Amino acid sequence: MIAYKNISKIVAVVMAGAVCFCLAAMAFEKTLTEVFGGSHVTMEYESRLFDTDEVLHINIIMDEAEWDDMLSNAVSETYGQCDVEINGEMFYRVGIRPKGNTSLTSIANDPETDRYSFKLEFDRYVDGQSCYGLDKLVLNNNYADATNMKEAFVYDMYRYLDVDASLYNYAQISVNGDDWGVYLALEAVEESFMLRNYGTQRGKLYKPESMNMRGEQSGGNGADLNYMDDELDSYSAIWDGEVTDSGKADHRRVVTALKNIAEGASLETYMDVDNLLKYMAVHVFSVNEDSLSGRMAHNYYLYEDDGRLNILPWDYNLTLGGMGGMRSSNDSATDMVNDAIDQAFSGTAFFDTLMENEEYHSRYFGYLQQLADEYISGGGFERFYNRVRGQIDSLVERDPTAFYTYEEYSKAADMLYEVVQLRGQSIKGQIEGTIPSTDSEQQNSNAVSSSFVDASHLDLSVMGSMDMGDRMKQLPEGQAGEFSKQDESFSFEEGNFPQGSDRPPNETTGESERDPGKMPDRNFAESNSDSAMKDNLVLYGVCLVILMIALLFAKRYRRRPRK
């Protein structure tokens, strides 16, 4: 009787508790999301486009005159409109444009080739359209890579360590049904990428660029991620490279994070430490000099969410000695194979305080050890290599636009296999202490050179390099590269567009609304509002369960009517 007498109070307390829990869940949404299954969202395009067991077949359908005009004016990076058939399914009114930096300008000045890299933007002309949830697909031409595998190899290592990085797959490209060549397809680092990796699109994304329009280092503008002062203008290279819209409040969070990182304060608060350690391990293994670990403060994305920074990888076709003539003259294959794993990021101090922490340094070495022992020696690389050779050998052999002959490709691919094995051996030696692990130690002691892994019998240029033989030509002064807002950092001043273009590269041409007569019935990616709902899916589910329990409790124990 006492229970029934006080049932109203009990129900009220339970309901109040449920409401309080829901309010608390909203306040601590991020923590709860991580506790209940993490923040990743499974996207349909992961299996439809990036199942690496099957090569993609992509047919670009475009008016021939418009296609030729786009190629003739590639440096303007102006979008055209095409239809795209992917593995037999049609996508209509898709945006397409050439992309690249040095590769774009080099190809534009080479009368022997039109093999540009491309970007496909599915919602350029049709609002809300996507490719199984993917907003943009990048098609890389494997420029300066005779192996056709360097970039795929690096992204395979990123996938092996579960790093926040683009998905990849090979694609056989056709244009109006005619074979164009084998490309590497990559998930663009934009909204879909953010949703897949973080379960949200609320974060801010930047692609800093330290190079000006003439390919010169501009320096001192924040691209190296070094903290200078509290002035936002000191970091213009970051803001100019915004991929998502951002404002001063967003910029202030980035600068605050850079300051605290430089001071070594609360690193877990201001850095995604574990992902960055994994990023460092793969990046250092790949010896990518065209990046923060070389002399170029570019080729990465900076992601910020709630004041916490992360670095996302990009552009790896010049790994493992691919910078060619841009390396110093006394460098050799042995130097590259034994490239130091400590203090590797000479282009930035961003990682210094991270590596000064013994625990973090140990974890970084642990990830390098995992790559060397498990991925390289344990069969992961062997499986990757055999799979890719089985997929693309015949495609490269008949590739009508290839930069290299099949014989050159075959020799380069064989050498890549050997170089990767030697790099793994050197990393093991550096971790064990039998090989010096810093540049200063390697350069200051002639005696230790005998401990290096020997690669003197290898000519790295066989695998391709920036020199590209006769293809690498002197670029005209002022030649434009790839510097649009969403993929690069430079925007053209009003009235000063590249030759062959009458509008800026990011200006939309044509209509944006759906064409009912052409669009097939298809479920596309969620809009931003739908994505926000996905962000809170776990939160709402927990709240709903609590409320349902409270209601069931009330129904079961409600006061019985008097007889």
Contact 174, 59 (CB under 8 A): yes
What are the φ/ψ torsions at residue 463 (nearest 5 degrees)?
-80, 0
What single-letter amino acid sits at 426? Answer: S
Q: What is the pLDDT of residue 491?
A: 36
Tokens representing residue 68 in the block:
């030729």
Question: In 10 A of CB 90, how many CB atoms?
Answer: 15
* H helix or E strand, kind and range, residue 389: helix 380-397
Indicate if the pLDDT at residue 503 is higher than 50.
Answer: no
537: pLDDT strictly greater than 70: no
- Residue 505: pLDDT band with limits 50, 70, 90: very low
Question: What's the pLDDT band for 21 if we cut at 50, 70, 90?
Answer: low
Distance in angstroms (rounded) separating the CA atoms of residues 264 and 253: 16
Band (346; pLDDT cuts 50, 70, 90): confident
pLDDT tens per residue, range 152-164 = 999 999 999 999 9
Mean pLDDT, residues 267-291: 97
Residues 480-519 as b or e (16 or more Cβ within 10 Å = b): bbbbbbbbbbbebeeeebbeebeebbeeeeeeeeeeeeee
For residues 354 and 276, the answer to whether their CB atoms sit within 8 Å is yes
CA distances from 23 to 16, 267, 306, 475, 531 (A): 11, 29, 20, 60, 21
What is the arithmetic mean of pLDDT over 424-432?
98
What pLDDT does residue 523 have?
A: 40
Name, in order, each residue with C-beta under 8 angstroms of 371's C-beta and a sequence gap of 6 or more.
157, 160, 161, 281, 282, 285, 424, 427
Q: What is the pLDDT of residue 83?
A: 99
Q: How far apart are CA 201 and CA 193, in angstroms?
A: 9
Mean pLDDT of 75-101: 98
Among the residue ranges 257-261, 348-352, 491-495, 544-548, the one predicted with the least confidence is 491-495
Quote the pLDDT of residue 329: 36
Sheet with 300-305, strands from edge to edge, namely 204-206, 300-305, 308-313
The encoded tokens of residue 366 equal 């642990």
Q: Residue 450: which pLDDT band, with cuts at 50, 70 and 90?
A: confident
Predicted confidence (pLDDT) per residue in 163-201, tens digit: 999 999 999 999 999 999 999 999 999 999 999 999 999
pLDDT tens per residue, range 196-247? 999 999 999 999 998 644 445 555 699 999 999 999 999 999 999 999 999 9
Residue 22: pLDDT over 70: no
Residue given tokens 């890389």 in the structure block? 140
Tell me the mean pLDDT in the region 310-328: 83
